[in-house]
Chain A
Amino acid sequence: MAILRKIKEKLISLVAGKKKEPKLKKISALPRTKVKEEAGEFKKEVLGTQETTVEKAKFSTPVTVKTAPRILQELPSRYGQNRIVLQVRDPWWLHTYWEITPDTLENLKHKLGSAFQAAKIILRVYDVSSINFDGTNAHRFFDVEINYGANSWYIDTQGPGRSWCVDIGLRLASGEFILIARSNIVHTPLDSPSWITDEEWMIPEDMFARLYGMGFGFGKSSPAKAWQQAMRRALFSGTLSSGGLASMASPVKRVQKERKFWMVVNTELILYGATEPDAKVTVQGNAIKLKPDGTFSLRFALPDGKQVIPVKGTSADSIDTITITPVVNKETK
């Protein structure tokens, strides 16, 4: 344990120093295809970032999509029962959503009278790790004050590797708590290696630290780096602050606004004409196909320089021949 703690401390100081490099490498920015700008801007050190970029590229969608404005019915805003559901977002954060029926609140209002006005609606978050939670035996709990308009919440538990349960209810001025609904129980994952080792598969700490670093792709020379990164939230959350609401934003949306005025000019040459529908025509020696009415139209990318374009028409009986040769000079200044 001592070795790990030392490594951890060293790494924390290292990380704190390193965080000051703000530059993101930009892959490149092509203004025309908007898709690009959104995809490129990731912090490379956050796990899963490249995976996100690549996966996003599968769903390329043009910038403006005109879909028929077919109006979809809305999903129900409530399902008519008191329920609170708890989910894990990551080792530190939980997400909960709930529904309280209007009847329930009416009844409480009626029952509590004036006490209702003074009561706060809260989420009571219980740490129920390794116990059979019966509502009274939690290791500890904390309250989050919410409001009647909300129907979901993110909760920072600061507690990786623990089990959690949430009650929604009213806390009266007297301190009494009135339960409305209780959630399912969830478990936040560890954000670092387990402290549990098994005897049969024992491994010395320094060796594990090395393997751990290699598993994260830091090579064999710097096992400490991985520890440090995992100890802070850097590897998994991209920032060192707990972030609050800001941490809920997706990385893809954090597009820096830059001035990106641009212009492109290209030139193409359209060569068109007409002859007898059964004639044979070549352009620069290559046979071309006439439309049924004897017209033709060709289109060329036109680079700088001189293009000599002999157009030769031959009658179907191969007796008459006409050659017309446009010469085009193009330069860009």
Chain B
Amino acid sequence: MSKGYLCIVLHSHLPFVRHPEHENFLEEDWLYEAITETYIPLINAFESLSNDKVGFRITMSLTPTLISMLSDSLLQERYLKHINRLIELAHKEVERTRWQPEFNALANMYLDSFCRSRDTFERYQCNLVQAFKRFQDSGNLEIITCGATHGFFPLMDVCRDSVKAQIKVAVSHYEKAFGRKPQGIWLPECGFQPGHDEILKEAGIRYFFSDAHGVLHGSPRPKYGVFAPVYCKSGVACFGRDLESSKQVWSSIEGYPGDYVYREFYRDIGFDLDFDYIKPYIHPDGIRISTGIKYYRITGSENKQPYNCHWAREKAAEHAGNFLFNREKQVEYLYDFMQKKPLIISPYDAELYGHWWYEGPMWLEFLMRKIYFDQKTIRMVTPSEYLSENPRNQVVTPSASSWGWKGYNEMWLQGTNDWIYRHLHQASFRMTELAKDFSRSSVNGLLQRALNQALRELLLAQSSDWAFIMGTGTHIEYAVRRTKEHLLRFNSLYEQIKSNSVDENWLADIEYKDNIFPDIDYRVHQ
């Protein structure tokens, strides 16, 4: 019999970046890179586990913005173009490196892997949401939702109607994509504020996650620390993160991804090779960008050595074994100590796997296999399964917290980004005013379209990603522009609606550009 549970949570998110008005748009690459390096490798790993009949349980959030982009036909077409160009480049690399056997093997590895990506992509009719849905339907994945545009809830607290809208829009979007209701939610950036659980309850959500100190500093004191969930007064469950297992994977210093054998993230032929040669594969304006072909391993010194995929694979297997060993020890110790089966919650950014840590998906697959075949101490669960087996839990109000830098709100509230809240909050108050003014069900036609678009623009402006990028202090132009653009569009819509003078052509144009959430209903913002 098992002595404890392990719950791995992968949070997948990218902000809504879609620019039909431009042929090439640099920031769209965020999506294409994540598809090639994270989402497809994860799907390939799930497929391989399921082909070998290895039972596994993973909890995964897919944010509404990510789902929208993965299901968008324009972005699907553009991804195909993108991967085809990569395949072409990989062919050239196989040729170019003919006299360098170490690099030649790697060029061939990339060629295979890109071709496989294209196959997987086309196998699911270019819509990867279908792939994740398939594994949810087979019982291996529990897909949870997130804020509609990943707005950071603690800093929306002055106008909770916006928190409600973020949650309600997300829930109905989820239902449409997966044909069922979401059981749980990944609060954007793990940002929890006491009271928001009431809104989750109203939306039919049964659980969320918080960082370790959210539960540990909760009141009253949680008897089992983070090793059992607690119920908020609303009855919604809160699962606290275990930092020991987190650190092993997250940390590039103490954790696995920093191993010298693993692939170096920052060395890319997009920067390394001769300009004329690489020009067709970087930005049309000649700006060097990452291509995804990276030939070096971390090495541990400035003089980078070529990557060896066989060594890396062995290391990933070894690290999976190490992770499992540590979890077994942890669970055994806690089981004796708590007199109850502990639950270890290990959440990660999905994009850590593959994009940041190239060998991550491989590691995860090894781990699933080892858990299934090699031991009996630990059982993998999803939060819903845990709750149905362990319905009795302590009632604790978790403390306000996030998993961001310093554990609270500062990443999104500092000198570089605090100016946005004056405008965001004003827009939230105005949206509530509009929703109240036009609450009657008879609103239709142009007015209804304008009101719905106003809510879309507000939601898009609220993405925590913009404040995050401003907070990092580098390359902030795009984030600033997006924040201003959506707020300006919102403000114009507000003025036009109030003065009953909606400009239909302009509205049609922004509906075409910001086409997320086609079924949105502005009335949720109250």
Contact = CB atoms under 8 A, between A and B. Distances in A.
A147 interface: no
Contacts of A299: 92, 95-96, 277
Given A35-B266, A201-B223, A202-B223, A60 B290 contact: yes
Contacts of B222: 201
Interface string B243-262: 11111001111110010000
B266 A303 contact: no
Contacts of B422: 85, 97, 99, 151-152
A197 interface: yes
Contact of B258 (A27, A184, A251): A27
A215 B250 contact: no
A198 B220 CA distance: 6
A268 interface: yes
Nearest to B194: A187
A79 interface: yes
24 contacts: A33-B266, A48-B402, A48-B404, A59-B30, A59-B469, A62-B288, A64-B287, A65-B287, A65-B475, A75-B487, A87-B157, A187-B400, A189-B400, A198-B395, A201-B394, A208-B221, A210-B337, A212-B225, A215-B216, A237-B406, A249-B415, A268-B274, A299-B277, A303-B100
B229 interface: no
Interface string B421-449: 11101100000000000000000000000
A230 B243 CA distance: 14
Contacts of B34: 58
Interface string A83-114: 00101111101010101000000000000000
Interface string B198-242: 000000000000011101111111111111000000000000101
Nearest 10 CB-CB pairs, A to B?
A217-B243, A211-B225, A194-B219, A217-B244, A90-B408, A61-B475, A189-B400, A201-B223, A36-B266, A50-B250
A55 B349 contact: yes
A79 B430 CA distance: 11
B103 interface: yes
A57 interface: yes
Interface in B137-188: 154-155, 157-158
A56 B472 contact: yes
A203 B223 contact: yes
Contact of B252 (A27, A72, A97, A253): A27
A89 B242 contact: no
B492 to A, nearest CB: 9
B96 A301 contact: yes
B477 interface: yes
A184 B240 contact: no
Nearest to B215: A215
Given A30-B267, A57-B265, 6 more contacts: A56-B472, A189-B408, A194-B219, A194-B221, A196-B221, A216-B213
Contact of B99 (A72, A219, A301): A301
B288 A47 contact: no
A294 interface: no
Contacts of A62: 26, 283, 287-289
A251 B468 CA distance: 12
B356 to A, nearest CB: 5
A284 interface: yes
Nearest to A77: B422
B98 interface: yes
B408 A190 contact: no
Interface in A14-69: 25, 27-30, 32-33, 35-36, 38, 44, 46-67
A220 interface: yes
A182 to B, nearest CB: 13
Contact of B227 (A47, A211, A252, A300): A211
Given A215-B240, A250-B416, A85 B394 contact: no
Interface stretch (B72-80, B294-302, B316-324): B294-302
Contact of A300 (B96, B245, B468): B96
A65 B406 contact: no
Contacts of A170: none
A194 B157 CA distance: 23
Contacts of A53: 252
A97 B158 CA distance: 12
B457 interface: no
Interface in B466-508: 468-469, 471-475, 477-478, 481, 484-485, 487-488, 491
Contacts of A28: 264, 298-302
A72 to B, nearest CB: 5
A152 B469 CA distance: 21
Nearest to B29: A60
Best-surrounded residue of B247, B253, B290 (most CB of chain A within 10 A):
B253
A311 interface: no
B373 interface: no
Interface string B350-363: 01100110000000
A83 B521 CA distance: 29
Contacts of B421: 85, 87, 97
Contacts of A65: 26, 287, 475, 477-478
Interface in B30-45: 30, 33-34
Best-surrounded residue of B95, B227, B242, B410 (most CB of chain A within 10 A):
B410
Contact of B408 (A49, A91, A203, A215): A91
Contact of B96 (A44, A48, A201, A268): A268
Contacts of B372: none
A44 B253 contact: yes
B399 A190 contact: yes
Nearest to A247: B410
Contact of B221 (A76, A203, A219): A203
Contacts of A184: 158
B19 to A, nearest CB: 11
Contacts of A60: 29-30, 33, 289-290
A85 B155 CA distance: 11
Best-surrounded residue of B218, B266, B287, B411 (most CB of chain A within 10 A):
B266
Nearest to B478: A61
A164 to B, nearest CB: 13
A144 B299 CA distance: 53
A51 B217 contact: no
B63 to A, nearest CB: 12
Contacts of A191: 217
A75 B484 contact: yes
B240 A88 contact: no
Contacts of B475: 59, 61, 65
A88 B290 contact: no
A235 B413 CA distance: 18
Contact of B426 (A29, A79, A200): A79
A215 B252 contact: no
Interface string A214-225: 111111100000
